[in-house]
């Protein structure tokens, strides 16, 4: 599995947290990884770990090689030391935790995208890796859409105006075309969700539009429905101008991709076993003789 680093939390990166055990194998402390992946409560993070252990079994790998129970000493007042529950995790275990984490957390979303593309390339064709990347970003875009709707409500947009609010973002990004106009131009059936027919590049542009709009609404403390709608359209135009400056293809000119449901079925039909390289398969036991 690749050694490329994950996004950082402050000045601490994923690779900075790596340790080495008595077998010479690399491992990570779950307690130290917890804040890097955006979890404040150990209970919630441990739920993700338990789901990851189940996934490890289902993938055909031995959980004991990748998840080891451990105690972590925590210093308290007056020099007291309390030992709290912890896990030693292999790199593969960290990957599985990211895959089983809460995708609404920005940290988990980044880790999922990183591991899905990097760690699984070893047992995938390039075409299947591209499918995984598209599916992951489609899931993240769906979560971002929900988050933006919440931000719009906080900014004064009434529920009955949500369609107009979201259409404003499309119009800014697509040169005046709203949802219906984009579908007509690309000959996408009315019943299809527009985002379900976007390729990875188009999804990424729309995800960026939504995250930037959400941040803008919060930063400028918008509390007016019409101002929120104008803000969304303006951000869409800014993203469009950025694409133009770097010479990218305008989103309305990107052909429709096959429906995301077909992509998901194709991924699910792939055998779930993940054959790791020998060193990765041994995980926490390293080069120890069996």
Render 231-270 in DSSP notation, one character per residue. HHHHHHHHHHHHHHHTTPPPGGGSPPPPPHHHHHHHHHTS
Domain contains 120: no
This prediction's pTM: 0.57
In this structure, are 135 and 96 located in the same domain?
Answer: no
In this structure, are 93 and 171 located in the same domain?
Answer: no
Name the packing angle between helices 162-173 and 225-245 (round to 10°).
Answer: 20
CA 45 – CA 50 distance, rounded (Å)? 9
In this structure, are 181 and 246 located in the same domain?
Answer: yes
Phi, psi angle pair for 68, to nearest 5°: -125, 125
Half-sphere exposure at residue 164, Cβ-oriented, CA atoms within 13 angstroms: 12
User: What's the pLDDT tens digit per position in 45-74?
Assistant: 999 999 999 988 888 888 888 998 876 655
Q: Lowest-confidence range among 68-77, 167-176, 195-204, 273-282?
A: 273-282
The more confident residue out of 172 and 17 is 172
User: What's the pLDDT tens digit per position in 7-53?
Assistant: 445 557 788 888 988 888 889 999 999 998 989 999 999 999 999 99
In this structure, are 244 and 167 located in the same domain?
Answer: yes
CA 288 – CA 290 distance, rounded (Å)? 6
In this structure, are 135 and 63 located in the same domain?
Answer: no
DSSP string, 16-47: GG-EE-TTS-EEEEHHHHHHHTT---HHHHHH
User: What's the pLDDT tens digit per position in 94-136?
Assistant: 888 988 888 788 888 888 776 655 555 544 566 777 888 899 9
Structure tokens at 254: 């990107």
In this structure, are 257 and 144 located in the same domain?
Answer: yes
Give the list of residues 6+ apart from residue 201 with CB closer than 8 angstroms, or none.
Answer: 248, 249, 254
- Identify the CA nearest to 115 among candidates 282, 263, 280, 286: 280
pLDDT over threshold 50, residue 3? no
């Amino acid at each position: 599995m690749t050694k490329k680093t994950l996004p950082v939390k402050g000045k601490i990166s994923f690779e900075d947290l790596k340790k080495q055990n008595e077998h010479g194998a690399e491992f990570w402390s779950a307690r130290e990884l917890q804040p890097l992946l955006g979890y404040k409560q150990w209970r919630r993070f441990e739920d993700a770990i338990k789901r990851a252990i189940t996934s490890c079994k289902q993938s055909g790998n031995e959980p004991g090689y990748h998840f080891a129970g451990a105690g972590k000493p925590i210093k308290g007042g007056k020099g007291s030391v309390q030992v709290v529950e912890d896990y030693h995790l292999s790199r593969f275990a960290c990957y599985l935790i990211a895959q089983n984490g809460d995708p609404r957390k920005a940290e988990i979303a980044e880790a999922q995208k990183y591991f899905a593309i990097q760690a699984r390339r070893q047992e995938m064709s390039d075409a299947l890796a591209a499918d995984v990347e598209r599916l992951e970003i489609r899931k993240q875009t769906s979560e971002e859409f929900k988050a933006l709707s919440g931000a719009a409500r906080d900014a004064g947009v009434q529920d009955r105006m949500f369609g107009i609010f979201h259409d404003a973002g499309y119009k800014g990004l697509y040169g005046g075309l709203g949802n219906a106009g984009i579908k007509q131009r690309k000959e996408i059936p009315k019943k299809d969700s527009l985002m379900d027919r976007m390729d990875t590049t188009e999804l990424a542009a729309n995800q960026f539009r939504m995250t930037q709009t959400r941040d803008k609404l919060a930063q400028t403390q918008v509390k007016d429905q019409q101002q929120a709608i104008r803000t969304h359209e303006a951000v869409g135009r800014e993203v469009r101008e950025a694409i133009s400056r770097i010479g990218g293809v305008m989103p309305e000119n990107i052909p429709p991709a096959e429906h995301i449901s077909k992509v998901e079925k194709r991924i699910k039909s792939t055998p779930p076993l993940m054959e790791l390289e020998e060193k990765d398969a041994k995980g926490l036991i390293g080069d120890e003789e069996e």
